[in-house]
Chain A
Amino acid sequence: MPGLEIIVFGALALIAVAAAVMMITTRNAVHSALFLVVVMASLSVFFLGLWAPFVAMVQVAVYAGAIMVLFLFVIMLLGAERTGARMLRSWQTPLAIGLAVTVVLLGALLLLNTAPIEVADRPTAEIVMGSAEAIGLALYSVWLFPFEAVSVLLLVAMIGAVVMTRDERKNKSA
């Protein structure tokens, strides 16, 4: 239904822009990183709608799940998150308990209500656009050289990161 799609993706676009604005304006670095995670998650939903399910999952796993976690590690390491201690607000604990109970109840409801699945035959139609199969076919045929080059790039980046953060004092004493 195109009307529903327009509403959902339009709202998602507004959320992404609002989170991006908050990301560049907030003073707390941790909040900034979390707003960027919100942007990435909304972009992942966009990818899902744009026939790119594999890339959407990779975005969540790699970008939001690894790169942003690395950012948060470094923010904590450098102490950039210090904005003063904040106590847990009085309304947050009951809300958390309420949400957890809701999630458990929903899970139980789902388990009790699902009909037994019917295993379908393997589809013999042409390759679906955006599936892992399609990307794999392109990646290992047309884009093989960039694929290999990029793995060398990752290795070099890893070595570079280790070298730059190595403790110099251990070297001088040897």
Chain B
Amino acid sequence: MSNEGFVTLYPVIIGLSVMLFSLGVIGVLVRRNAIIIFMSVELMLNAANLAFIAFARAFNQIDGQVFVFFVMVVAAAEVAVGLALIVAIFRTKHSINVDDINQLKG
């Protein structure tokens, strides 16, 4: 992207990051399916990645992109463990509706 293009699009990119993050939060709060909640969390992480890359471009520093690397690795690890958890829960409860996982409720 040329510099004029970036300066014009910078609000769009940051706004897009904010919108995607908010949509991820809405997805986590509104949906009851555990897997969809998980995917909304991934959406939030992607929004944060976009912000990192945008600022790395703005300040011409590579550190933002390196951090996106780390975010992706942590997301991969979290997805592996989280999906294993969901599968293990499904084995006993036969449901992935988070409203059904309430045995610890006082």
Contact = CB atoms under 8 A, between A and B. Distances in A.
Interface string A71-85: 100110110100000
Sort chain A's interface into a size bin: 35 or more
A5 B1 contact: yes
The B contact surface, by secondary structure, is helix
B66 A135 contact: yes
A106 interface: no
Nearest to B20: A20
- Which interface class (under 10, 10 to 19, 20 to 34, 35 or more) fits B? 35 or more
A139 B66 contact: yes
Nearest to B88: A164
Contacts, number: 183
A17 interface: yes
B79 A67 contact: yes
A135 B105 CA distance: 47
A63 B45 CA distance: 11
Nearest to A56: B53
Given A49-B1, A80-B35, A74 B87 contact: yes
Nearest to B25: A24
Interface string B51-63: 0011011001011
A54 B56 CA distance: 13
Interface centre among B1, B19, B78, B85 (most CB of A within 10 A): B1
Interface of B: 1-2, 4-6, 8-9, 12-13, 15-16, 19-20, 23-24, 26-27, 30-31, 33, 35-36, 38-40, 42-43, 46, 49-50, 53-54, 56-57, 60, 62-63, 65-66, 68-70, 72-81, 83-88, 90, 96
7 contacts: A63-B46, A75-B35, A134-B62, A138-B66, A143-B63, A160-B81, A160-B84
